[in-house]
Amino acid sequence: MKNIIVGIGEILWDVFPSGKVLGGAPANFAYHVSQFGFDGRAVSAIGNDELGDEIIDCLSKKDFRYIIEKTPFPTGTVQVTLDEKGVPQYEICQKVAWDNIPFTIEMEELARNTKTVCFGSLAQRNEASRLTINRFMDLVPENALKIFDINLRQHFYSQELIDHSLSRCNILKINDDEVILVATLFGWENCSEMEICQKLLSDYSLRMVVLTKGTLGSYVITSDETSFKPTPLVEVVDTVGAGDSFTAGFVASLLQGKSISEAHATAVEVSAYVCTQKGAMPVLPESITGKR
Express each pLDDT in 41-96 by its tens digit.
Answer: 999 999 999 999 999 999 998 889 999 999 999 999 988 787 776 677 778 889 99
Phi, psi of 287 (to 5 degrees): -65, -20
Q: Which of 45-54, 81-90, 182-191, 224-233 has the lowest average pLDDT? A: 81-90
- CA dist 122 and 137 (Å) reads 16
Residue 33: its H or E element: helix 25-34
Q: Which CATH number fits domain 4-286: 3.40.50.300, 3.40.1190.20, 3.90.1150.10, 2.60.120.260?
A: 3.40.1190.20
The yes-or-no verdict on residue 147 having pLDDT over 90 is: yes
The yes-or-no verdict on residue 292 having pLDDT over 60 is: no
The yes-or-no verdict on residue 140 having pLDDT over 50 is: yes
Answering whether pTM is above 0.75, one says yes
The yes-or-no verdict on residue 186 having pLDDT over 50 is: yes
pLDDT, residue 1, reads 46
Phi, psi of 153 (to 5 degrees): -130, 135
**Beta strand segments in 56-187, E:** 65-71, 77-82, 88-92, 114-119, 145-149, 171-175
Q: How confident is the model at residue 205 (pLDDT cuts 50, 70, 90)?
A: very high
Q: How confident is the model at residue 18 (pLDDT cuts 50, 70, 90)?
A: confident
Higher pLDDT, 26 or 3: 26
